[in-house]
Amino acid sequence: MKATIKDVATLAGVSKSTVSQFLNGRFSYMSETTRKKIEEAIAELNYRPNQIAKSLKQKNTKIVALICATLHSRFSLNLIGSIEEFFQKEGYSVIIASSEDDSQKEKSLVESFLARQVDGILVFPTSQNKEYYQKLAEQRIPLVFLDRQLSGVDVPSVLLDNKLAGAMATQLLIDQGHDKIALFTFPVKDRITTRIERIEGYEETLVKNKLTRPDEFVVCCELEELADRLDQLFQYTPKPTALIMGNDMLLEESLFWSKREKKKIPDDFSLVGIDDVSFARLFDPEITTLAQPIEKIALKAASLLWEQIQGISQETTSDSYLYKPTLIQRSSVKKLN
């Protein structure tokens, strides 16, 4: 017998109306403890709201959900635009949400969207939900990962070749005579593959060129910590001659910092950003970047989800579709003697 909302409420020790609020994403007056109890009850009972009613429907809801890690990144916003364009042509609407890399919030959003019977979900996944996503894959829920990979989960992933991006940025600087290169990225908590692979590309390229670096030259920090970490880094001896910013938000904040501190690029330090953004061309000097093929990534991810929704793709797969970055050389890298 399929579990009901009453079963979930009984197991979680809450009212049916509280479970209903959870399923509809209304968490404003709900404690973390209550949310966790409901999530655990749903998982234990393998509860799926309105599953019978859904199977009897003649048409899909024509709605898909997209859960980003953040809505503050220009990369995410451009990706959203391309994905929306794809599904609008198919007569679909796209619901947008942000998890802020909070795995519990991410899982709650997925549950909420499934309760609303969306036809499929695109998500920037966190590894803490690995087992949960595998269960969804086994239930044939249309699902595609964006920007990240989760090994051992039968869900396709579409993303940049992040190790190559880290390697290309590092090799560019080495080719210009730099051997004191620092890399900045967001924290690698929850083993977010995008960040880890960019660090790996950087590290492997240094080794390939027989270079070493102090521990201080890999900085993993939140955006609001960047200015302080830059201050600390430039008090270090020896100072770096070049910086790699691991995403568009860090790049933008580093430019604000350099302006406040009256640092001259590339005289005081060379700068490369991973993710190409419009302001990179507007800054003086123009900033060298590695561009992601955002439209290609968006189109592939949307197509994979569409095929699952339409029943064209019946098999679960853990295939990863990696796209090469494009180096856009501008004026922010100084050639050293």
The pLDDT score that the predictor gives to residue 55 is 41
At 108, list the tokens.
């709650």
State pLDDT tens for residues 284-304.
999 999 999 999 999 999 999
Confidence (pLDDT) at 50: 58
Low-confidence ranges of the chain (pLDDT < 70): 1, 28, 49-59, 313-316
CA distance 202 to 281: 24
Structural domains of the chain sorted by starting position, each given as residue range(s) with its CATH number in brackets: 5-49 (1.10.260.40), 61-160+294-324 (3.40.50.2300), 162-292 (3.40.50.2300)
Quote the pLDDT of residue 51.
44
Length of the chain as a residue count: 337
CA distance 106 to 1: 28
pLDDT at 313 (0 to 100): 63
Query: Does the pTM of the predicted model rise above 0.85?
Result: no
CB 45 within 8 A of CB 7: yes
CB 219 within 8 A of CB 182: yes
pLDDT tens digits, 33-83: 998 899 899 988 888 765 434 443 445 799 999 999 999 999 999 999 999
Structure tokens at 217: 């030259």
CB 294 within 8 A of CB 78: yes
- In the three-class reduction of DSSP (H, G, I as helix; E, B as strand; rest coil), residue 237 is classed as coil
Quick check: 246 and 198 in contact, CB under 8 A? yes
